[in-house]
Structure 1
């Protein structure tokens, strides 16, 4: 994730602070503060259906349970254990204690970005690191049956979208795919992923690769999380400290045949011109890898919405500008990720591509102020136009006024032909 989001850091829990929060909550509840009642209704199993303060008389242990669950842990004891583990990891790192995490086997750590590479080294991991970062959440994603053609298609998109030369993009992809194909030479490969669509689509490809080639290491393991204790807005592993990553090592699990098969099914569906396969997988709830279903649904929400023809990222962008019609692009990006996006997955360069694509119209929904037009993207100032206001209100259809030609997986979105569209009211896709 972008350095524009550096303030989104892991929150280091402090036990004394959490004890104080528990006492404060008890005081607020006994003084009939409505927010305290709502917190009990949301997090305490015995207070779920209470209607007023008199219906439940909490003790300090009850407020401690609420605090623990607000932090993503099931009990106060689990909260204390978590804090102790993080503190111990911090002491071990500071004192140079050598704990044998991954040196027992020749290990490769695979991640769809470089955000945790240095942190893993600081934490004491000594295995090799592979950044496998082809962003399948954007651009055309054809079948990989003919690899050279597949890489050309992906490199052409990356070059055009992110301002990289085709040769550089192609070479990078060749290196990453080649290293993935030779990863069976390791005794152990550990996949580090989070819950968003960017990560889950890359995870699907990696699992598809191992399913298809049947060449994988003796130990193939997965770390996949959707939250971390103390992090109110968990965006990704890059937020976490070396100490936190160190504690995740104990959460890794062996990848099963069912996991590999799911990844293969997702990849086949993603590279199909119809979204029907993805819909079926979403409806299955993907118990093998629970975050996958939600990530795929978020991916499908990038298809045009029936009310105005915009995908969800475009919808959210204009809704933010409708609230504040003039805004710097970096502030817009941060507001999107921190406040509006239900499942953040875009990096800043990926978002600049979305904004640039929206400008490719005779009637753009926003414009860049003349004095900032030559600035880098994050410094450009955007202003909502009358077209943007009409789109937000559903008075215009973007497909009828834009020159956009974009892809959602293998689905090409071009005006003038039947399109799969997202019906937000029914929470489903329809063909129009």
Structure 2
């Protein structure tokens, strides 16, 4: 049996709980960087490696090597009688699940049985965030409780991935409106809907995480990076956001050192903003809201027009120079995307 999980911590606890079989830790963050609906994997890995090195500081060579190694192991899955996917309810895990379901829908599965273990809560664990917060004994209680993946779930996973990683936002909006059998993937609909809230909004040009960051700083004043990350993450449990991802948000809000930056670090070197290998001392430095950040929060100016925009959201690459605009924005009142 082969188990595919997200995170070394989960692998370690599963082993401590007595899980039998092989484990493949899938190291990806498909919520960040470019995604491609029907990828030639080698091209996708290199495209993502180059972009994530630039945005998050993840070494491109390291990222590409891990990507190829895990794909080589995945391609040999038919050597197993059963394969179990362990992925949670949040967008981070769901995007990986959709990608893998798309992969299995398109290939010959031989005689391998496909199953999934996907939960959004656990008895006696308030504020459940993921498998990693469970003990080895709690994880062991889930052994054998996974659900077989049938043709309907494979087809839904393929469709959701195609919409998420495609280049047309209309496809996501249309899919969310369809009367699909979402129970086949019970967390996909909410995760995909949350994905839309990451687009710049119609009022201030802020996505959900950017808006929460500025609001948190306005409420509590300057906060150390790590504290800010924890507070913002708790406001968006559907994201499953890690610290390296969040440092990317902070870099963008800094505006690459422009005078119009929406946040500032106390005593920071603008050339050494946080990334993949962040200095622990930097994480203790207070982050504060700037005058421009307060103006954006009040709706007096727009973050996209102020700073410009260059970000991949799934398969959609939104770009705008300062003073310009992106073609799609999120309307919070209708919880959907609109053309600008």
Partner of 1:347: 242
In structure 2, the CA distance between the partners of 1:369 and 1:114, relative to structure 1 (3 Å rule), is: same
Corresponding residue SS for 2:2: strand
Equivalent residues of 1:282, 1:294 under 8 A apart? no
Larger Rg: 1 or 2?
Answer: 1
Partner of 1:233: 127
Gaps of 5+ in 2: 273-278
Partner of 2:298: 393
Equivalent residues of 2:305, 2:325 under 8 A apart? no
Give the number of the structure with larger relative contact order, counting CA–CA contacts within 8 Å between residues 6 or more apart: 2
Query: Once the 2 structures are TM-superposed, how far is the Cα of residue 378 of structure 1 from its aligned partner?
Result: 2.2
1:294-313 mapped onto 2 (5 Å cutoff) = 294-313=190-209
Corresponding residue SS for 2:8: coil
Partner of 1:408: 313
Partner of 1:370: 267
RMSD: 1.8
Equivalent residues of 2:129, 2:237 under 8 A apart? no
Partner of 1:175: 69
Structure 2 residue corresponding to 1:255, chosen from 149, 162, 187: 149
1:307-346 mapped onto 2 (5 Å cutoff) = 307-338=203-234, 340-346=235-241
> Partners in 2 of 1:291 and 1:143 — Cα distance?
20
Partner of 1:208: 102
Query: Once the 2 structures are TM-superposed, how far is the Cα of residue 380 of structure 1 from its aligned partner?
Result: 2.7
Partner of 2:333: 425
Greater share of residues in helix: 1
Equivalent residues of 2:304, 2:325 under 8 A apart? no
Corresponding residue SS for 2:105: helix
Equivalent residues of 1:183, 1:217 under 8 A apart? no
Gaps of 5+ in 1: 1-106
> Partners in 1 of 2:90 and 2:52 — Cα distance?
20
In structure 2, the CA distance between the partners of 1:115 and 1:139, relative to structure 1 (3 Å rule), is: same
Listed one character per residue, the Cα deviations across residues 149-188 of structure 1 (whole Å, up to 9, x for unaligned) are 2111111123223323221111011011221122121111
Partner of 1:271: 165
In structure 2, the CA distance between the partners of 1:298 and 1:116, relative to structure 1 (3 Å rule), is: same
Equivalent residues of 1:372, 1:381 under 8 A apart? no
The alignment of Structure 1 onto Structure 2 pairs a total of residues equal to 325
Corresponding residue SS for 1:430: strand
In structure 2, the CA distance between the partners of 1:218 and 1:417, relative to structure 1 (3 Å rule), is: same
